[in-house]
Amino acid sequence: MAILEHLAEMQNATGKNRLVIVLDGMGTAVMEKLLDSNGFLRRNMIAAETALIPATTVAATTAYRTGKMPYETGFVGWAQYYAETDEVIEVFLNTNLYTGEKSKMSHHTNTSPCPIVVEDMRANGRIAFEVMPAFAPDGFDTFDAWLNRIVELCNAYNDAYIYAYWPEPDSTLHEFGAGDAARTLLCDIERRLEFAVQQIRQPTDVLITADHGHTEIETVFIDDYPELTECLLHPLSLESRCVSMFVKPEYLQRFPELFNMHFGKWFKLVTKAEFEVEYLRANQPVRFIGDFVAMAIDKYELKQRPDTLKLKSHHAGITPAELEIPIIKISI
């Protein structure tokens, strides 16, 4: 059963509360490395699923909130190319990836705008809530405040659907990797989460999962390979471990050979059509996917040029560490 089917099952059920918790970046490899096998999360894990591709927050959390695949929502990767303004736009921030300035578009233009499941449920007379971090309207600044709101809702209702998202351990993993800082954080999350679940008094089914996993990385820059940059029609886009590349027409035949010569042992190169059908599961062309997509199969990310952002761990590639996410279930 795919992760979206798990969520649909929770949304469609009645007769008790259904609580879905998404912990950003907490793939099964992260759990196995940082958490005790007898702890609350690992002992309640019943299965592992494959994350949506690209294995990234933009694609997955939007899909979780809408019940639609990324090609349907228009949120596929962190930075997408838009021909309307000739920009690579960070879609959650609406900023130009390469200049840092606000996009020339007033807002991110969805390929196919989709309603949020919680809003749709409310419109149909059902009880539904989202509990989000501070960046969202009515979001929470601290993990404890976020947890308290979840418990409050579960104890106030007996037939509610509650979707709750928290941006850790992803942020810590990006900065420090899966070391002591991430272990301390995730163990604390686990302890507080277990205590919060114990405070729920109403019958509640709890599903805890993630949007993607993580893997430690090194960076290579395509600008260090002039014969490749000469082929590009636009700057690199989508994700640094799932790279969309628009190629000048005269280089379409030559480009795969050049790319694989330099990066073939680190990335799987596929055509636009192959990526859309086999990985996005799309039944239509996706306008901001370039002629080729390079998906990481090793430790490297591919960026246009050096910058000040140095990540120790990342995601969006197709290694097991990035793709495998947990299905953790608790019945109260």
Q: Which two tokens stand for residue 264?
A: 């073939």
Cα separation, 268 vs 177, whole angstroms: 24
Domain, as residue range, for 133: 3-54+110-214+319-331
Based on the domain organization, do 23 and 132 belong to the same domain? yes
Based on the domain organization, do 192 and 253 belong to the same domain? no
Q: Please report whether residue 34 resides in a domain.
A: yes
Residues with Cβ within 8 Å of residue 308, at least 6 apart in sequence: none
Cα separation, 252 vs 269, whole angstroms: 13
Write down the mean pLDDT value for the chain: 95
Nearest CA-CA partner of 112 in 245, 288, 275 = 288
Helix, strand, or coil (residue 196): helix
DSSP state, residue 108: -
For 251-281, the pLDDT digits (tens) are: 999 999 999 999 999 999 999 999 999 999 9
The whole-model pTM stands at: 0.95
Residue type (1 letter), 26? M
Measured from the Cβ of residue 229, the count of other Cβ atoms closer than 10 Å reads 15
Cα separation, 312 vs 2, whole angstroms: 29
Q: Which two tokens stand for residue 220?
A: 């290579």
Q: Please report whether residue 10 resides in a domain.
A: yes
294-320: average pLDDT? 94
What CATH number is associated with residue 135? Answer: 3.40.720.10
Residue 1 has pLDDT above 60, yes or no: no
For 40-83, the pLDDT digits (tens) are: 999 999 999 999 999 999 999 999 999 999 999 999 999 999 99
Q: Please report whether residue 96 resides in a domain.
A: yes
For 228-254, the pLDDT digits (tens) are: 999 999 999 999 999 999 999 999 999
DSSP state, residue 275: I
Based on the domain organization, do 139 and 24 belong to the same domain? yes
Q: Please report whether residue 292 resides in a domain.
A: yes
Beta strands, E only, the chain: 17-23, 45-50, 79-82, 87-90, 95-96, 127-131, 160-166, 204-209, 215-216, 218-221, 237-239, 242-245, 267-271, 292-296, 300-303, 313-314, 324-331
For 116-163, the pLDDT digits (tens) are: 999 999 999 999 999 999 998 899 999 999 999 999 999 999 999 999
Based on the domain organization, do 27 and 121 belong to the same domain? yes
Q: Please report whether residue 61 resides in a domain.
A: no
317-331: average pLDDT? 97
Based on the domain organization, do 170 and 284 belong to the same domain? no
The answer to whether 11 touches 115, Cβ cutoff 8 Å, is no
Q: What is the pLDDT of residue 110?
A: 52
Based on the domain organization, do 31 and 122 belong to the same domain? yes
Q: Please report whether residue 59 resides in a domain.
A: no
- Structurally, how many domains does the chain consist of? 2
Q: Please report whether residue 66 resides in a domain.
A: no
Number of residues written out for the chain = 332
Based on the domain organization, do 305 and 185 belong to the same domain? no
Based on the domain organization, do 11 and 33 belong to the same domain? yes
Question: What b/e string do you get for 180-209 counting C-beta neighbours within 10 Å, with b at 16 or more?
Answer: eebbebbeebbeebeebbeebeeebbbbbb
> Radius of gyration of the chain from Cα atoms?
20
The answer to whether 215 touches 265, Cβ cutoff 8 Å, is no
DSSP notation for 223-250: GG-HHHHTTBSS--EEETTEEEE-B-GG
What CATH number is associated with residue 294? Answer: 3.30.1360.180
Q: Please report whether residue 68 resides in a domain.
A: no
Cα separation, 327 vs 42, whole angstroms: 10
Based on the domain organization, do 38 and 164 belong to the same domain? yes
Based on the domain organization, do 222 and 296 belong to the same domain? yes
Based on the domain organization, do 138 and 285 belong to the same domain? no
Cβ burial of 325 (10 Å; 0-12, 13-18, 19+) is buried
Based on the domain organization, do 43 and 129 belong to the same domain? yes
